[in-house]
Structures are given as C-alpha cells and as structure tokens.
Amino acid sequence: MKRNITVNICGSLYNIDEDAYTLLNKYLDDTRAFFSRQPEGKEIADDIEWRVSELMSEMRASGSAIVTIEDVQNIIQRVGTPEEMGETNPGPDLATESHGNETVPPPPPATNRGVKADKKLYRDFDHKMLGGVLAGFGQYFGIDPLWLRLLAVVLAVVSWGTAIILYILLWILIPPAATPADKLRMRGEPVNMESLGDEIISTNTGTDCRRNDASFINSLLHLLCVLLKGALTVLGVMAILMLGGTGLWMIVMMVWAIISADSFIHEVFGIDYGAINLGTVLPPVPTWGLFVSGLVCLGLTIYLLIYLMMRMAGKTGRLPKWRLGTTMIAWVASLILSAVCLGAIIGNITRESSIFNRTMTEYRQHRDQQAMAESLRELRNNGWTLEKSRNVKHFISNYENYQGVRGRRYLHAYHPSGDMDYEVVRHIKVAPGQYVLTAAARTDGNGAEIFAVNGAGHRNFAEIPAYGSEGGGIWLEATKFVEADTVGTSVEYKQMKRIAKVNDDKGYGWSRVIVSDITVGPDSVLTYGVTNCSPSSIWDGTWLSASDFKLTPDNKNSSNKSQ
C-alpha cells in the first residue's frame, strides 16, 4: 500500500505516489538550485518543470493513471540531472546513446555522478537495536555494529552503568537518518537523483538491507535491549514524576509557609516536619491527580498553541477532525481535572489550616521545653540545682564572657520586663571552718545577690553591682592595670589587656563579687549560688549573669566586716 498525492505541476494535476513525489520534488528543487546561479535560471527551471509536466501528461495519455517512482526515474533519465544540462560543464557521456535504449538504461555507477558527499554520523534506524547509535557508528567507521555492541555491553558493566548515560546522551545528540538523503549521507554515498531514487525504491519495496541475523549473540543483544528499554522507560517516568513531585512539594511548602504566616520565615526551615502530618493536609489522590493532569494540560496547551500559530502562519495543514477533536476533549478534561484537584487541595488546606497554627504552637512549646531540658541537664552536670525559676526560659548563656571567650558558659537569666524568679545553687560538703566565696557576676538592676547559707541557716550575701552590659569592676581593674603597667610583658598583663579589650574596649559589665565570713559548721553543709529573690532587697533589673564561683578557706580569720 502506498500513499498517494495529488500534485499540481504547471497547472496540470497528477496523481503521484508518495515516494515518487519525494524524488520528483528533490529533482525539481535541485534543478532550481542549480540554475539559480545563472541570471536567467528561473526561466530555465520553469521550462524544465514544464517539460516534466508534459512528459507526465504523455504518460497519463498512454494509460498510466498514477505516477510511480519508476516513471519519475524515467523522466529524470530523459530530461537529465542538472549537472548534465549545464552548458558550461563537460558534455554528457554519450556512450549510453549508442545503445539506443532509453527506457531501461543500465544504472550509472553512482560515484561518477554528483558531488561525492562526506560521510556523516547519523543514527541508523534500519539496523538499530535500541536507538541506532552504535549501528550509526558502525556505518560511520565501517565496522560491524555487533562488535561495537559487545564492547558497549562490556563498557556498561565495567563502568557500573555510566556508559549507559553516555549512550543516552549520544542518542539525544546524534540526529537520526530520517530521510533517504540522510541515509545516503550516513553511508557516505553521494546524494543525487539516481542514488536517491534507488534509496527511496529500496526503502519502499522493503528490500533494504535490514539484517535479521538469528545468531545467538544477536538474539541475546535483542533481549538485553528490550530489558534496557523497559528499564529506561520506567526510570524516565520515575524521574519525571520525582522531579515534578519535588517541584510540587516545594510549591506546597511555600504556600504552607505563607498560610502559617506567624513568623514563618525563621520557623519554616527549622520546623519539625515530623510533627505535622502532611498527608492530612495534602491528600495524596488530588495531589497526584493535580500533578498528572496539570502536566497533561500544560503539554496539550503548548501543543495546541503551536498548532494554532502554525495554522495562522500557514505553515501546516489542517489536523484531521477526529484528532483535533480528541486533543481538545483531552485538553478540556485535563483542565477540569486539574481544577477539581486544585479545588480539593485548597479546600482541604483551608479546612486544616487550624491544624497548622495549632501544630506550630505545639512545636514551639516543644522546642522551648527541649531547650530548657537541655539547660537543666547542663546545670545538673555542673553541680547546680535550679532552686527557683519562674518565667525563665534559659538558664545558661555564653555570648558575653568577661574575658571575651566565646562559648564559655555562665549562669544567665532574662525576662523582658524582669518579671522572673531565678535562683541557682550548689549544695556542697566542705570541712568546717571559715570560707570566702568569690564569683564574677553582672546585672542591670538592684536586688541580685551572690549568697551562701550554712547548715544552721545563716545567710551571707553580696549584691551584684548593677553596671549593665558595659564596664564593670573586672574591666575597670583591668583597664587601670594596663594603663599602669608600662612594660607590658608579664603573663598577667596579657590577661588584663585581654579583659580590658572586651566588647570594643567597653567591657561587658562583669564585677568580682566577694562573700566573706562564711562559717561552715560541724555538719559541713554549705549552699551557695546566685539569686534575684533576695529576702532583704527588691529586684528591679531584667537580667543577671554569674560565673567563676570559687570557695576558698579564709585563713586570716579576721572578723573584718566588709562586703
């Protein structure tokens, strides 16, 4: 069966086979191109086209209703290729003339005619196993593709499949030998009327050289190809779905972030996603439905738009009605399905949006609890007990150490309005005797104390000087020391200089706090620590810090009352 085309040549209509049409079209194009180099070329080409038409009408008059490829070849034989017609070229080989047989001439050796074309790399469809890449290489290098295929299998195994990616890349990059001219170029044969005609005939009559080797290796390769094709298809579909799914997921995440707008910027990426069940928010069926129908809809829209544009530009013919109809129906269906799925998802999100907020709140509480638990654990590990804590979230900080050492931990409490209770103590056992407790501490208000209580309940304390977060006793001392020491080489000097330099030479407000005259009784019990809940004074600050607690025996034993 052959497709049949009606052509109009110089005002006459002819029925012509599709392959014959291809050849004739190529012939007339070539002629036109050949003579276009001459000033009167168009006229000559028109005359030749006219002659072709005349010969075809003669054939029709003699009874052949349809122009076949053989007819076209005869016409070309009679009228001659453009190269033979050229006046400036050396004359045609008249050897054939003396044979006198014009209708069935022996095919001239192809290499004599036309310009010898360079071999070009194409994918060889006629001998393909998978994509025709290796068959094409075989044509290009003149090797039996079987060896290339075996080599490729070995490569694929040895390279752990990397070679497959290379193959796919080549598959994409190398063009297929789609037209008869491509096939000729692929084989390195010249592209001219005769060769092209032969190629078209051989392709159409099925006498092409497609090899149906039933050898063991070939059937094995075939099996491998079928498997590989299947695997590639599955992989490709999966990749598309995964890519699309990821993209959709990201969009959903962003929408979600906007919906749960409450300080989402810093929450959304630190969020404990496990705490939120996305499945209840994004029902799987509408999500996938939206994804698939959205893809189909997008593809069809682009297809229809391109078709419409081509139609308007007159670059393409009218699509068959049934095809246009099914495409339109599919497009509308995918559009409706997308809308329905989107509606379902949006409805679900609106319904479940309270879940977001609740979950966010829960999450934040959970996180704070975790931070508190972490701080508590750290306190305990260092022998501290959280005696009182109200409205205090963090008990430890590490940003503003008086030596400027980042990461050194110290006790710390803060509340924006100071409405908090904070008391951290150590319960220890020491030998009975007199002791002095020193600590480094700071605060921004009155009423914070370093204290010690002995077994008998006697309480000694010293208030933390309220320097705020700049200056401080330790810093002042260090600054004075640095100013006084003109030599500046001792280890102590270096330490002091470091302290003086803290916070751009401003200090962080730390002072040395000394609690003296601590008497530990025979029970050896002592409790010391830091608090803002003093029994004797009222707290009016918002934060306090303390560290470097040191209990030393008071050897002087003098009852010098000082703070």
Interface residue list for another protein (CB under 8 A) = 10-12, 31, 35, 38, 40, 43-44, 47-48, 50-51, 53-54, 57, 61, 77-82, 84-87, 90-97
Q: For residue 334, give both structure tokens.
A: 């995918």
Q: Which of 90, 535 has the CB closer to another protein?
A: 90
Please say which residue, 84 or 208, places its beta carbon nearer to another protein: 84
Q: CB of 560 within 8 A of CB of 415?
A: no
Three-state SS sequence of 277-290: CHHHHCCHHHHHHH
The set of residues, in sequence order, having a beta carbon less than 8 Å from that of 225 and lying 6+ positions away, is 129, 130
| Rounded Cα distance, 293 and 330, in Å | 10
Nearer to another protein, 83 or 126 (CB): 83
In the bound state with another protein, the residue whose beta carbon lies nearer, of 10 and 252, is 10
Residue with tokens 């599955």: 234
* Cβ proximity to another protein, 90 vs 457, nearer residue: 90
Question: From CA 515, how far away is CA 441, in angstroms rounded?
Answer: 12
Q: How many CA atoms lie within 13 A of 509 on its CB side?
A: 17
Q: How far is the CB of 116 from another protein (least distance, A)?
A: 21
Specify the residue, 43 or 262, whose C-beta has the smaller distance to another protein: 43
**Pair type for strands 421-429 and 511-520:** unpaired
Positive/negative CA dihedral, 212, 109, 202, 188: positive
Q: How far is the CB of 107 from another protein (least distance, A)?
A: 15
**CA 186 remoteness from chain centre:** 38
User: Least distance (Å) from another protein to the CB of residue 80?
Assistant: 2
Shortest spacing between CB 18 and another protein, in angstroms:
23
Cβ-based burial of 69 (10 A; exposed 0-12, middle 13-18, buried ≥19) = buried
Nearest-approach distance from CB 291 to another protein, in angstroms:
60
Question: Which residues lie closer than 8 Å to 467 by C-beta, 6 or more apart?
Answer: 442, 473, 507, 509, 510, 511
Q: Which is nearer to another protein, 98 or 417 (CB)?
A: 98
Q: How far is the CB of 199 from another protein (least distance, A)?
A: 22
Q: If we measure between CA atoms, which residue out of 139, 168, 166, 134 comes closest to residue 151?
A: 134
Are 528 and 409 a contacting pair, CB within 8 Å? Answer: no
Q: Measured from the CB atom, is 30 or 182 closer to another protein?
A: 30
**Cα separation of 365 and 159, whole Å?**
52
Write down the least CB distance from residue 89 to another protein, Å: 10
Cβ neighbours of 8 (radius 10 Å): 9
Residue 9 backbone dihedrals phi, psi, to 5 degrees: -115, 120
Which residue number, 90 or 270, has a Cβ lying nearer to another protein? 90
Q: How far is the CB of 42 from another protein (least distance, A)?
A: 10
**What is the CA angle 235-241-246, rounded to 5?**
120
Tell me which H or E stretch contains 427: strand 421-429
Is the CB of 58 or the CB of 523 nearer to another protein? 58
Question: CA–CA distance from 211 to each of 128, 131, 220 (Å)?
Answer: 10, 16, 15
Retrieve residue 537's tokens: 């004074």
* Shorter beta-carbon distance to another protein: residue 61 or 285: 61
Q: How far apart are CA 85 and CA 422, in angstroms?
A: 109
Sort strands 385-390 and 421-429 into parallel, antiparallel or unpaired.
antiparallel
Nearer to another protein, 14 or 510 (CB): 14
Contact 187, 121 (CB under 8 A): no
Which residue, 52 or 478, has its beta carbon nearer to another protein? 52
Q: How far is CA 304 from CA 296, 298, 396, 426, in A?
A: 12, 10, 65, 79
d(CA 309, CA 298): 16
Sign for the CA dihedral angle at 10, 14, 18, 19 comes to negative
Which residue, 37 or 321, has its beta carbon nearer to another protein? Answer: 37
Query: Which of 85, 75, 73 is CA-nearest to residue 54?
Result: 75
Q: Are 474 and 499 in contact (CB under 8 A)?
A: yes
Tell me how far, at minimum, the Cβ of 50 lies from another protein, in Å: 7
Residue 213 Cβ, how far from another protein at the closest point, in Å?
A: 42
For the bound state, the minimum distance from the C-beta of residue 115 to another protein, rounded and expressed in Å, comes to: 18
Least CB distance from residue 108 to another protein, whole Å?
Answer: 12
Q: Shortest gap between Cβ of 97 and another protein (angstroms)?
A: 5
For the bound state, the minimum distance from the C-beta of residue 102 to another protein, rounded and expressed in Å, comes to 9
Whether 395 and 375 have beta carbons less than 8 Å apart is answered as yes
